Amino acid sequence: MNIVISCDTCVARDTAACADCIVPMLCGEPQHDAVIFDYEELRTLAVLAKSGLVPRLRHQRSA
C-alpha cells in the first residue's frame, strides 16, 4: 500500500502548519512535487517524529 502526499491537496497548505511539516523538508518545492510513502516508511517517520528527530506529518487531505 502506498500513500501519496502532496501539498496541492493539503487543507493546511499556506498555514502555520506548513512551517513544521516534514513534506516541504523532503520535497524542497512542495507545490510541484508529491511524496509517496509505503506503510513501513510512514511508520518509520512516525517513530522518528515521536522521538523528536523530524517534524511530524501534518498533511490533511482535502475532501
pLDDT in tens, 7-59: 778 887 888 877 777 776 666 654 556 777 888 888 888 898 899 887 777 66
- The 8 Å CB, 24+ separation contacts for 42-50 are 42/3, 49/22
- Give me the residue spans of the domains in the chain: 2-50
Residue 29's pLDDT is 57
Residue 35's pLDDT is 74
Report how far residue 22's alpha carbon sits from residue 63's, in angstroms, rounded to the nearest whole number.
21
User: pTM surpassing 0.75?
Assistant: no
Residue 27's pLDDT is 63
